[in-house]
Amino acid sequence: MSDGLDTAEKRGQWSGRWGFILASSGCAIGLGNIWKFPYITGENGGGLFVLIYLACITLIGLPIMLAEVLLGRATQKSPVGAYRDFSAKGSPWVIPGWIGVLTGFVILSYYSVVAGWALHYTWLSLQGGFAGMDAETIGNTFGSVFANGNLNLGWHTAFMMLTIAIVLGGVRHGVERIARILMPLLFVMLLVLLGLAMQSDGFAEAFSFIFSPDASKLTRAGVLEALGHSFFTLSLGMGAMITYGSYLKKKEDIVSASVVISILDTIIALVACMVLFPIIFSYGMEPGAGPGLVFISLPIAFSQMAGGAIWATVFFALLVFAALTSAISMLEVVVSTVIDETRLRRTAATLLCGTAIFLFGIPSALSGTEGFAGKEFKDLTAGIFGEGKGKNWFDTFDYLASNWLLPLGGLMIALFVAWRAGAAAREKGFNEGTRFQNLYVAWLMLLRFLVPIGVVAVLLHALEVI
């Protein structure tokens, strides 16, 4: 693996368009789609939340994805360098680049804890799964897993070590190769589960829950969450797509690639809901059960199935891999920035950043406990979020990073590319390699006006200003 990242050859490149699409889909498709989207859809009452989320993906997420990939490909740099290259020397525009890196740092710290749950459930499945357990026992299992600090710490350590090992060994060829095999496998697996879910009693109820808008169930915070999640799920607002775009050759079509990645990501999220909610409704469970949703509902379904232990193992293992292809992209953003900016070698930078993220994630791993990161932190933050609305460490950082830092980061990228970057470089960056040059003006208009207005409006709405 190279140490410096100065030349295209040293930095590495995707093998081609599909290499980029699969690796970027691997980065985008992760716990956000299968763990987070179903549970926040459940918490926000379904239909209308999904509709707003889809609008955010299409009108805000997609234009920003294009802006990020364009910036990365044009500069061949990670976020801080990309901002610097496209602005004047000493320009304050590098600040949003650094904030993006920090956001990646924060998200990975708790993302790894959730991936740890997936590792633990893979392990449980391997040992015979959930056969013979009733729904209540399975529900209680998740509760006791989250409350077990040492267990979470152990799996968090294991997952961070795995992530560090892959980034150490050179993520680019590794990621692409892993993504090429695992992404299609995940797709097939979800389709099989969808087939099973469609035959269950709760499918009709689930379908209408996911797709029928009901305005009475959506709150201000829910609208912000839909926006924040559209950034989270597409890996936008922190420079991951800038970094992945920087490994792309100039002749590739970034317009169609961005559309394909967004569509794949959205399909996976919707299919995950269509797999989980029928089970939830069939067993009379609560759709707003929170972060444990996927870890409770699927084991219940598996416990009833012939060969359920095998299905469960395959599913949770794939969830781990989906998490891994996303986690390495987050670490890669931090590491490649540190390499670019400090001239540290890849090995040192990876070990340093990986360890720091691991340490920062420890309180997240302990968030289900009665101690500081858990109950005490909840009491502490009740002063900020309101009485009875306190959040543990894990929830606090998820809330801050996904709902605020990512949209703000995305807003900065949109403003930068739409208003600050040179017109000629921007147009060239968009047009190179694509047949869809006629979409340039529409994209620029979205990025100039609708994206900033939309993001600011949702943020102000959440702050109860409008």
Based on CB atoms, which residue is closest to ligand PFF, 19 or 104?
A: 104
* 206: contact with ligand PFF by CB under 6 A: no
Based on CB atoms, which residue is closest to ligand PFF, 210 or 240?
A: 240
Based on CB atoms, which residue is closest to ligand PFF, 107 or 135?
A: 107
Which of 33, 258, 313, 336 forms a contact with ligand PFF (CB under 6 A)? Answer: 33
Least Å distance, CB 431 to ligand PFF, is 26
Which of 163, 230, 326, 434 forms a contact with ligand PFF (CB under 6 A)? Answer: 326
* 240: contact with ligand PFF by CB under 6 A: yes
CA gap 299, 130 in Å, rounded: 6
**Which has the closest alpha carbon to 275: 307, 319, 310?**
319
Among the residue ranges 149-157, 228-236, 280-288, 445-453, the one whose residues contact ligand PFF (CB under 6 A): 228-236
**Which has the closest alpha carbon to 32: 105, 135, 108, 124?**
108
Q: How many CB atoms lie within 10 A of CB 276?
A: 29
- Please report, for residues 333, 335, 337, 442, 456, the alpha-carbon distance to residue 343 in angstroms, rounded to integers and kept in the order given: 15, 11, 10, 40, 37
Based on CB atoms, which residue is closest to ligand PFF, 326 or 350?
A: 326
* 27: contact with ligand PFF by CB under 6 A: yes
- Please report, for residues 83, 165, 338, 405, 410, the alpha-carbon distance to residue 335 in angstroms, rounded to integers and kept in the order given: 17, 13, 5, 19, 20
The answer to whether the CB of 26 falls within 8 A of the CB of 186 is no
Which of 5, 22, 28, 414 forms a contact with ligand PFF (CB under 6 A)? Answer: 28
Among the residue ranges 205-213, 235-243, 312-320, 392-400, the one whose residues contact ligand PFF (CB under 6 A): 235-243
Least Å distance, CB 449 to ligand PFF, is 25
The answer to whether the CB of 411 falls within 8 A of the CB of 456 is yes
Which of 60, 101, 179, 238 forms a contact with ligand PFF (CB under 6 A)? Answer: 238
Based on CB atoms, which residue is closest to ligand PFF, 252 or 265?
A: 265
Which of 200, 258, 329, 337 forms a contact with ligand PFF (CB under 6 A)? Answer: 329
Which of 232, 281, 311, 394 forms a contact with ligand PFF (CB under 6 A)? Answer: 232
Q: How many helices (H) and strands (E) does the chain have?
A: 24, 0
DSSP 392: -
* 23: contact with ligand PFF by CB under 6 A: no
- Residues ≥6 apart with Cβ < 8 Å to 316: 118, 119, 121, 122, 125
- Residues ≥6 apart with Cβ < 8 Å to 387: none
- Please report, for residues 77, 168, 250, 344, the alpha-carbon distance to residue 8 in angstroms, rounded to integers and kept in the order given: 10, 19, 11, 18
Least Å distance, CB 178 to ligand PFF, is 15
Exposed (0-12), middle (13-18) or buried (19+): which is 248, by Cβ within 10 Å? buried
Based on CB atoms, which residue is closest to ligand PFF, 331 or 373?
A: 331
* 81: contact with ligand PFF by CB under 6 A: no
CA gap 326, 25 in Å, rounded: 9
* 337: contact with ligand PFF by CB under 6 A: no
* 24: contact with ligand PFF by CB under 6 A: no
Least Å distance, CB 388 to ligand PFF, is 29
The answer to whether the CB of 1 falls within 8 A of the CB of 169 is yes
Residue 175 sits at the vertex; the CA angle it makes with 427 and 293, to the nearest 5 degrees, is 100
Of residues 84 through 113, those in contact with ligand PFF by CB under 6 A are 104, 107
Least Å distance, CB 329 to ligand PFF, is 5
* Residues contributing to the site for ligand PFF (CB under 6 A): 27-28, 30-33, 104, 107, 232-233, 235, 238, 240, 326, 329-330
